[in-house]
Amino acid sequence: MATTLLALAIFFVVSLVVSTVIIYVMTKLLGEREGIDTALLAALTGAIIFALSYFFLGQGLFAAIIGGFVWLMALGSLYNMTFLKAVGVAVLVWILAAFVGTVLPTVIGPL
């Protein structure tokens, strides 16, 4: 049990750091001026929103859509951007996160 909790904590911290960097880079590319602290808050907020969404609505597309919509509103609020710009940022973040999620585990190569 302790190993599982430790692994979960490490996975959460690594995911949070990767998400923070991706959000920071994407928002900087789109001209936002907020710093890394806002990106960290956006990543943490997204993790909490999606966790609550899946907890209350169950696993599935509906929970993902609701969680995504709420995260878009939070992202727009944190960065003072329009809903459409938040959608653009979110799409770029999700694309880059999918790429990183595919590449990152294979970086060290076969053991």
**Average pLDDT, rounded, for the chain:** 88
In a domain, 109, yes or no: no
pTM reported for the whole predicted model? 0.83
In a domain, 108, yes or no: no
Q: How many structural domains are present in the chain?
A: 1
51 CB burial (10 A radius; 0-12, 13-18, 19+): exposed
Is pLDDT of 108 > 80? no
Domain around 40: 2-23+34-96
The residue ranking higher by pLDDT, 14 or 42, is: 42
In a domain, 40, yes or no: yes
pLDDT, tens digit (0-9, with 9 covering 90-100), for 86-100: 999 889 988 998 888
In a domain, 42, yes or no: yes
In a domain, 110, yes or no: no
In a domain, 106, yes or no: no
Place 8 in a pLDDT band, splitting at 50, 70 and 90: confident
